[in-house]
Amino acid sequence: MQKIVMAITGASGMPYSLTLVQELMRLDVELHLVVSNAAYKVLHLESPEYEEVLGLVEHTYRQEDLGAPMASGSFQHDGMVICPCSMASLAAVARGLGSNLIHRAADVALKESRRLVLVPRETPLNRVHLQNMLAARDAGAIIMPPCPGFYNKPRDMQDLIRHIAARIMDSLGIENSISRRWEGG
């Protein structure tokens, strides 16, 4: 069974994170989930049904819980994703601040050379955001802005969301078929 650490931070894009949680649970992934304090505010606004979805997850943590397993390199897992990733959390990861559980777990993933996927959301991007993305990439993170492709002719918002969730799962090495793949054309 694959073991994944996931963090939800306070950027827009909660439908991506909830779809990702649902799909990971459906695939029986052992999910360890941290939700930042700011993320709860955005969840209330964007996806008021969030409690039902997050209630599916057995292992959940608050950002203050620096004693949680993923704060240590001895906790083995198959990868971490921060979805969505706020510019504040991107900065903290890029600069190695380990002052909350999300930033510490990301720092640990990088030092242990484990997969770390960041799904940053802001627009437009200023120079600091761009420099932080480059720094995080140089440190080993995968930077995956949620930019869906339109070549598969999405019918609705859920198609676009699933497309991004599928690409994130691909990056985490989780087999999935939740979105149609390009087969050439």
Ligand X SMILES: Cc1cc2nc3c(=O)[nH]c(=O)nc-3n(C[C@H](O)[C@H](O)[C@H](O)COP(=O)(O)O)c2cc1C
By the rule CB under 6 A, 17 interacts with ligand X: no
Q: How far apart are CA 133 and CA 139, in angstroms?
A: 10
Residues 70-99: x/- map of binding to ligand X (CB under 6 A)? Answer: ----------------xxxx----------
Backbone angles phi, psi at 93, to 5 degrees: -70, -45
Kindly state the smallest distance separating residue 85's Cβ from ligand X, in Å. Answer: 7
Among 11, 105, 166, 168, binds ligand X (CB under 6 A): 11
By the rule CB under 6 A, 128 interacts with ligand X: no
Q: How far apart are CA 149 and CA 11, in angstroms?
A: 21
The continuous run of DSSP H or E covering 134 comes out as: helix 127-138
- Terminal-to-terminal C-alpha distance of the chain: 36
Strand pairing partners for 3?
Answer: 30
Residues 25-64: x/- map of binding to ligand X (CB under 6 A)? Answer: -----------x-xx-xx--x-------------------
Applying CB under 6 A, the residues found at the interface with ligand X are 9-12, 36, 38-39, 41-42, 45, 86-89, 121-122
